[in-house]
Structure 1
């Protein structure tokens, strides 16, 4: 299932800057960055729930925000992209 994850972490304190790095690192390990604070994750349900739990433990609910947009398995019909940074196909070939 495709999920879009977006976040806004307050970086007014040293702890906030540390949380921002942790959130970004967690997302980078499971998802593709498509904007500065926006990731697309094509994961099975249990992998997504694990990532979501990890992210919710990192964030400070009083100063940060996080959104999860569930696009499902037929996400290609729901996403339009314009401009630079061509989109990617998470189901396609990945070259490492």
Structure 2
């Protein structure tokens, strides 16, 4: 299933900057960054549970926020893209 993850981490102090980097690194393990604090992640249900847990352990819920948008398996018709950043197919073969 495709999940859109967005976050806003308060970076007014050094601990906030560390949390911001940690959240981004966790999201990079599971998906593709499409905006500064927005990731598209193609996940199995158990991966989503694990990622949510990991991210909630990182953020400070009194200062930060994170949102998970479940776009499901037929997400292609729910996404429109305009502008300069090229798009990608998360279900295509990835060559490293």
Number of residue pairs the alignment of both structures matches: 96
TM-score by length of 2: 0.97
Structure 1 segments (4+ residues) deviating >2 Å: none
Query: Secondary structure of 1:29's match?
Result: helix
Gaps of 5+ in 2: none
Matched with 1:70 is: 70
Q: Deviations over 1:55-85 (max 9, x none)?
A: 0110000100101111000000100000111
Q: How far apart in 1 are the matches of 2:30 and 2:2?
A: 12
Matched with 2:41 is: 41
Q: Deviations over 1:7-66 (max 9, x none)?
A: 000000111011001000000111100000000000100011101110011000010010
Q: Superposition RMSD on alpha carbons, in Å?
A: 0.6
Gaps of 5+ in 1: none
